[in-house]
Amino acid sequence: MAASSQLRDCQAWKDAGLPLSTTSNEACKLFDATLTQVPQRWVGSSGPVRGLG
């Protein structure tokens, strides 16, 4: 997982043109961590996780 200092906060998402509907920086960073981890779970697997693709 990316170091917590590298995860995007709410302002970073807004600056990227993707504002989130929360003002919680912790929630924004958790969302970023989720997006970072999901593709890594697919690497080396036989395909997408059932129900996700």
Domain that holds residue 12: 4-39
Q: What is the pLDDT of residue 37?
A: 78
Residue 46: inside a domain: no
Q: What is the pLDDT of residue 9?
A: 96
Instruction: Estimate to the nearest angstrom the gap between the alpha carbon of 53 and the chain centroid.
Output: 18
State the Cα–Cα distance between residues 47 and 53, nearest whole angstrom: 9
- Reported as a single tens digit per residue, the pLDDT across 22-49 is 999 999 999 999 888 776 666 655 555 5
Residue 24: inside a domain: yes
Q: What is the pLDDT of residue 30?
A: 95
Q: What is the pLDDT of residue 38?
A: 72
pTM score of the predicted model = 0.64
Q: What is the pLDDT of residue 51?
A: 55
3-state secondary structure the chain: CCCHHHCCCHHHHHHCCCCCCCCCHHHHHHHHHHHHHHHHHHCCCCCCCCCCC
Domain count, the chain: 1
Q: What is the pLDDT of residue 35?
A: 86
